[in-house]
Amino acid sequence: MLRAYGTANGCLTEYPPDIRPRVPADAVWIDLVEPTDLEESAVEEALGIDIPPREELAEIEASSRLYQEDGATFMTATLIRRGENDRPESSPVTFIVKDQWLVTVRYHHPQAFPAYVRRAMKPQTTSMTSWGILISLLEAVIDRAADHLERVGLIVDDTSRQVFNRSQTPGGRRRRLRGSSLEELVEKIGEEGDFTSKMRESLVSIGRMGAYMSAALDAMKQVKEMKDHRARLKILQRDILSLTDHSSFLSGKINFLLDAVLGLINIEQAGIIKIFSVAAVVFLPPTLVASVYGMNFQFMPELEWTYGYPFAIGIMILSAVLPWLYFKRKGWL
């Protein structure tokens, strides 16, 4: 899909879709979403550039993601979104700046793009040139990343309360988390840990792109409006650094929480094994007594007693109760 945007009265305006892909002469932003070969060809012919194929977008080398060619600046960063079932989805997005045009090439749908379009269709105080729109778009991406990290923080705090601040039962004992609850917590923590790691990867790639943009803008100091762009870019880079540090903090907190939940699982498993061990010890003496009286010797005085059978049953019960009382006194049960 090819979407073309222009500007009017300080606002972003969208050109109506055309049956035949084309680039309007006064467009400032061309957004290619899962473009077809025909759409790519139309943009390449209008701007005189070569749009990198999808396979090249996934390469992580800086030389493949950040370079200049045919008078255009090519920059690729990994953007993240929450997809179906709240799962994290990350995909590279390429930003191309040439003269008055900004071209974005993407194969997924980050929520920051429609959010920026809705906001930019109202009067703006910032420059609506190619570089100005690019910086504004990255600001929307960073704002969205901050919202995502805030949500991760809330989920981690809620999970931490479930693990460490459990409510008490009427008897004054703390409510225990059972196996199914612990498994759900591990799954939730794992999902947020995966999302946080992908978010940090995205922020690092955007930070590299910001540094490259800064160098490109420094080479255009003679352009008056570039001074404002550089100032906004410095603020953006500080925000990226702050969010990167915060994502690292959340990753450490998630790892600690995961270790804590796994420790609770081990404690629960140890408690189950302890019950089986105590049961085995409790029933061992009665088994020994029953084994003795189950031997087929000819002379066993108790066999001739009138109360021999109740006597044996009593010994077995007593030999089971005494270990149980001992364990209870020691606090092992």
Check pLDDT > 60 for residue 126.
yes
Predicted confidence at residue 172, as pLDDT, reads 44
Is the pTM higher than 0.95? The answer reads no
**Residues with Cβ < 8 Å from 146, sequence gap 6 or more?**
239, 243
Q: What is the pLDDT of residues 30-84, one digit of tens each?
A: 888 888 888 888 888 888 888 887 777 666 666 678 888 888 889 998 888 876 6
Most confident of 102-106, 169-173, 291-295: 102-106
Q: What is the pLDDT of residues 195-213, one digit of tens each?
A: 888 899 889 989 999 888 8
- Structure-model confidence comparison of residues 203 and 333, the more confident one: 203
First to last CA, the chain: 67
Domain boundaries, the chain: 2-268, 272-330
CATH of 2-268, picked from 3.40.50.620, 3.30.460.20, 3.10.20.740, 3.60.15.10, is 3.30.460.20
Predicted confidence at residue 280, as pLDDT, reads 82
Give the whole-number percent of the chain exceeding pLDDT 70. Answer: 90
CATH of 272-330, picked from 3.40.50.620, 3.30.460.80, 1.20.58.340, 3.40.50.300, is 1.20.58.340
Give the residue among 230, 1, 238 at the shortest CA–CA distance from 114: 1
| 333/329 Cα distance (integer angstroms) | 9
What rounded mean pLDDT belongs to the chain?
A: 82
